Structure 1
């Protein structure tokens, strides 16, 4: 069976930047946008041009700099917003206006103080007006996660009729459970006239830690585009993490899906976004956290040293990391200690390993981690007891090694 391609819509520069304190200047945004294009994303949501002159300038400069990816600008279902978005995109090789309105009962009643009928009218008008400027118009049904499926289907059918090329189904508050969100996508695929003409997109927030799972269930049930951010940054608890959803697709052949992302560039762009935004990546973050490929438990270390796959489902090289890390702590065993000494150029026989391990544990009980410098100090302590303990020899490549 032929694999189906899932498009990656990156909104790091728009939704991702909405984190308090996460402000990027135009130069930084352009640099990240170029990296995103090299990474292989299909769409770069460059900003919300009407929000500020700086955002307008950033979208414009990104439009000049990006050649292959679609450059997208966000707008509300308001004429002025759409006009400003269109102007900001005038230099783009491939431009998309992303316009929309809230569709949930909560948004209709309290945010807009309107009616379902008027919301559909505004949705249609926004799409028709955006089509005057660009051919590629994406419509978002804000708070679709809490919108009744029948009404959501009616909205979708109307915007398709008037030219929407992509429809975004946001779980704006991270409210949905994965099965619920997947069923919503399936309902639209099965009940909306003309749905086969457009791309259906997921846009999931992480308020309950379900953004990636919801996006996964979205594409399993028929969505063709995922909206996500590098490192999962974004409003409140963040968005679907690009690196997580992309690697899930890559690692699970049973999904019969693929993306155009060059996953070996993931670590590099993760660091760039973290440094540029000042948003540190938590140590245990999947794929890009510093502990994602680190092992400190003796049982795990022994397994990984013997065969990496025993405790790693992902090859670190696939995301741009040279190798797994064996971290020496009080929970580490002899295998890990011998492995780290071998990396330093010391081969330990059983007696030496036993002696050094007892010294190592005393040090490890006092510290969180034992460094290479401390390993050499431990070895020196052993040599002070026996001046002839370290012997020099060479391995097959002619490199000198130390046999202890």
Structure 2
């Protein structure tokens, strides 16, 4: 194990953080980057027809900002953007966003793609970390800042006559590997070009393009930037966490505590390498805390089906909130607690959900209780009692539950597999009646 070749990520020095005392009270602005960041990571990227179906699903879920393309990267992206605009396929309350590299010829191509847009976000970026500055671009700090400033000046010039609503967004693309002082300097230089106001805000996006630090350090970096950016009351602070360390959801949540107002991510976390922030997981986390997630999650199984069809990716059965087995308990102790919890919830007509081992009510996403308790040789009397009472409408005494539980345990052990609901009911009819 050659771990000595890696170095520990630096903490933010001499910084009095306030985010640990905060709570998430409202959902942030969501921006889906499925059709750009997610799409570019697919083995077979989507065509226009597939992208349109995906776009319409995002609209149905309630997304108000959707990054639809990288128009200078491919003709398909350019044509898809034109189709959305020319055929009036974008709801009046939705902003479409495009990604633009800080090169004049690509800025021009991107602006052409957005002609006639009613609500558009022009997302300009350039790499900013030390390695890219010195090795990839072979440019000084001043030259990298000039690249960003000149690009934003040119972008403003080309879009000054747009009749629709125009929002400018800037990303120091490799923020996670960029010195904080330099990140602040380049962001403030671009902000100065845009001259945002409280009524005409711009977006500063601080991406964890490569997730390489713990979520608390990312939050420190976000709060430090939030505290030091110029025109702060005229800035929407955005984050774009990737999932290389498997903690993008935590990074996004702590970033919100630290002052971020917008999060960029994808459905189910699709994206380069280990993926982007999983917006479904993130939104359900908010929902489970009694906060309106501002997304319609009630038909998430329909969304899941569309996603798997269009991306050719499978969602893991243990995916939080959505996986096929996420509400399933095999353990006898868990089953007993769930059975008693659901019984109490119904009997007392509870206003708050507090059933053991179930973070949310499966019925909130139109799933029944049939798959909540599944029975194998690890299960106990609580599981079979739930099956018989819930799906055969027959009450069992404690003694009957113990006796029948042993019968089912032996049968499952003999067959070396899970027993279906119908098999358990059949066994009850033959063994207990």
For normalisation by structure 2, the TM-score amounts to 0.82
1:116 to partner: Cα distance: 1.3
1:21 aligned counterpart, secondary structure: coil
CA offsets 1:205-228 (integer angstroms, 9 cap, x no match): 101011111111111110110001
> Which 5+ residue runs of structure 2 have no aligned equivalent?
1-22, 197-201, 343-354
> Is 2:382–2:401's contact at 8 Å kept on the other side of the alignment?
no
Greater strand share, structure number: 1
Q: Which residue of 2 aligns with 1:130?
A: 155
Cα 1:353–1:229 shift into 2, 3 Å:
same
CA offsets 1:135-168 (integer angstroms, 9 cap, x no match): 2121111110111111100111011111171111
1:25 to partner: Cα distance: 2.0
**Of residues 136, 139, 157 in structure 1, which corresponds to 2:170?**
139
Alpha-carbon separation, structure 2, partners of 1:14 and 1:320: 30
Q: How many residue pairs get matched?
A: 381
> Is 2:392–2:425's contact at 8 Å kept on the other side of the alignment?
no
Q: Which residue of 2 aligns with 1:39?
A: 61
**Of residues 334, 344, 360 in structure 2, which corresponds to 1:314?**
360
**Of residues 306, 319, 328 in structure 2, which corresponds to 1:272?**
306
For normalisation by structure 1, the TM-score amounts to 0.87
**Of residues 189, 192, 210 in structure 2, which corresponds to 1:158?**
189
1:175 to partner: Cα distance: 0.9
1:72 to partner: Cα distance: 0.9
What is the 5 A alignment of 1:365-384? 365=413, 366-379=415-428, 381-382=430-431
Alpha-carbon separation, structure 2, partners of 1:58 and 1:346: 54
> Which 5+ residue runs of structure 1 have no aligned equivalent?
384-388, 390-404
1:23 to partner: Cα distance: 2.3
Alpha-carbon separation, structure 2, partners of 1:266 and 1:30: 18
Q: Which residue of 2 aligns with 1:392?
A: none
1:347 aligned counterpart, secondary structure: coil
2:31 aligned counterpart, secondary structure: strand
What is the 5 A alignment of 1:340-355? 340-345=387-392, 347=394, 349-350=396-397, 353-355=401-403
> Is 2:284–2:293's contact at 8 Å kept on the other side of the alignment?
no
CA offsets 1:67-92 (integer angstroms, 9 cap, x no match): 13111111211122222222222353
Q: Which residue of 1 aligns with 2:286?
A: 249
> Is 2:42–2:311's contact at 8 Å kept on the other side of the alignment?
no
Alpha-carbon separation, structure 1, partners of 2:367 and 2:396: 31
Q: Which residue of 2 aligns with 1:358?
A: 406
**Of residues 379, 392, 399 in structure 2, which corresponds to 1:332?**
379
What is the 5 A alignment of 1:147-186? 147-163=178-194, 165-186=202-223
More displaced 10-residue stretch of structure 1: 271-280 or 3-12: 3-12
Alpha-carbon separation, structure 1, partners of 2:262 and 2:191: 16
1:270 to partner: Cα distance: 2.8
Alpha-carbon separation, structure 2, partners of 1:284 and 1:32: 23
> Is 1:33–1:66's contact at 8 Å kept on the other side of the alignment?
no
Cα 1:2–1:25 shift into 2, 3 Å:
closer
1:51 to partner: Cα distance: 1.8
Cα 1:110–1:321 shift into 2, 3 Å:
farther
> Is 2:24–2:257's contact at 8 Å kept on the other side of the alignment?
no
